[in-house]
A and B are shown apart, each in its own frame.
Chain A
Amino acid sequence: MSTSSLQENRRRSRSSGVSAAAPPLGAGPSTAGGDRSGRVFNVVSWIVLVVSAVLWLIPSLWAVKTSLTPNSTSALGTGPILRDWRLTFESYATLLRGGDLWNWYLASAVTSVVSVLLTVVLGSMAAYALSRLQFRGRKLVFLLILGGIMIPPQVLIVPIFQELDVVGLLNTYWAVILPQVPAVIVVFVFKQFFDGLPKDFEEAARIDGAGFWTTYRLVVMPLSKPVIGAMSIITFVGVWNNLILPLFVLSNPKLITIPVGLATVQGSFGQRLSDIQASSILGALPLVILFLLFQRRIVEGVAGSGLKG
């Protein structure tokens, strides 16, 4: 599926929606003049969807509501939480005043940003060579890298733990960063993009005497901003959300990332249920903000790379 056509269609459907009086214009199945059964179908679809969407929003809204309710009320259960509307930010204040959450944020931010930098730079370099340079073994290297797609990294947690142990990197941010750098899919996506890029600019640069490194850095990468954006964001989200790796390679509570920190919350907060929900919201918040800022890139990145878990 091509995501570029996805946007195109969306643009089309949006502009067609301008005619205010017209019935909801589907981007899909045709309304052909507005036959009655079509309109009924539209209304039913709309109702089913809105009900489902509301249903889907309930768990998050429930967490938000609870996080804004005093701990003393939340401990009493569902009924009291529903009835008590003296909203308070006390739980958020408690969490932000403590040092733990800030440590988790720092760990998640550092590991995610450094991983993104390394993954995108090294992955695009490899992809550039595979797309543009002639060398013996190119096919083999590409096949090897492609084969990596079949390896689920979660399964490798024990060997990776031991490897990091041997070189003394356990309990450092590097232990979370380094194993996540070889994201094969990033090379694959960059290579596909480079393959489709016209070569004129590069050829001009080469004739002007630019080396491959200069061409890659000053010609190819500036043309690749959309892929760089999409790959950066999905790498960021992946590293930020990774639980299994930091869970086992980090034990120092000062170094743990958000997911590992959240995993300890249920045990350590006990009956402070509002605080627990607030910590969940605060852990999720950076990603919600990221989504609101880069909706399109995220959706494209996810649809384009077929990345899942």
Chain B
Amino acid sequence: MTDATTLIDKIWDAHVIRVLSDGRTLLHIDRHLIHDGSSRQAFDGLRALDRKVRNLPLNFAVVDHIVSTLPGRTGESHPLGRERIHALRDNCRQFGVGLYDVDSPRQGIVHVIAPELGIALPGTTLVCGDSHTATNGGLGALGWGIGTTEVMHVMAAQALLLRKPKQMRITFRGAPQEGVFSKDLILHFIGRHGVSVGAGFAVEYAGEAICRMAVEERMTICNMSIEFGARMGIVAPDSSVIEYVAGRPFSPTGRLWEQAVAHWRTLASDEDACFERELEIDCSAVRPQITWGISPQDLVSIDELLPDPASAADAERCEAMRRAFAYMDLVPGRSLEGVPIDYAFIGSCTNSRFSDLEAAARVVRGRKVAAGVTALVVPGSMQVKAAAEAAGLDKVFVAAGFEWRNAGCSMCITSNVDIVVPGKRALSTTNRNFEHRQGLQSRTHLASPASVAAAAVSGRIVDVRKLLRG
């Protein structure tokens, strides 16, 4: 045994309020993000307990899940969304929680605005009633998703009672090829190891490919942690993170900044730190990835043929594959390349940041959305939207025939009118290809923003590398 500690140990230890005799830890929560999708009953619970929000400045609220993304939207744009938006407004007003409302220039998807506004900081614990909260791990925050009851706990106590998870390190070796993005790398990992390999674990992502990634790319990796069962996923903060965090609205300044940076520089796993599990992937061998089925583990490389259920490892997997093929209306042994698509969706907390839109625009520039394809770009935040417009990306998308929307979760969760209609096929930069996820009988294929853009302009699933080569 050594005293060596991991990155996650270091952050965890700094937040321990008390360890109970049964082994549970009362852990301090530095940041809490509240949204329109999962908070209403939590506020009701607070009222029933006759409690206030304990630390108002550490709680932030935003409308994202149910908000309309249409031009000229208001909180009234959709009758069912309206009900939830009004509930969040009323609750935030009553309890004094700051809210980024529909008309705020800071509004956006909760996991996009938390890093962007400096709400998420390296070394902080951050929770939200949303499973993709580990997105914030991209800048070295320990973030995880919680249920509505725990949302109430955090509001009341700024703390959560939990058991420390086991730890896994995933090392990304080698350099990815042209046309392969962080989304492809994490999808590849899920395809290889399955959707439950991370259950019970908190994950640290490491290796030279992670170190070379931009902070936003790391966010995409961390975002997908929950898709293989890991509630928390994080990358050690380095100089690029410190550069990213500097100057954001809620980032520390002056003497506090110096003090914070000195602390953040200590946040890395010791060389001889132990993990309960270590896995790795060779990034140089990864080709553009695309899901074919109804689980994020149903994956092929774009130049690969679809698998045969008959060759599945066991009867249960065989049955799950048959079910997936039937739902997706695909045939084993064929190629995905060439399959016509009806929708292309670029957005969601996985892939809606500036660099995602830039990667998609690079493919779209000078091309047109294919006839019959509905193509949407939904920036992750109004700030991403403004930055993209300043860079002229909106013109690239609009000229090609994409719809250019306002920020929100949109077609990732069938928000309002942003729905894939029954039986139609969507290529999507989102995180889940579950049955009916993007609408009743919707058929979703997950891929990188560049791959989705390539499909949008081709009208069918294609190998993005062919378009990038021109």
Do A and B originate from a single complex? no
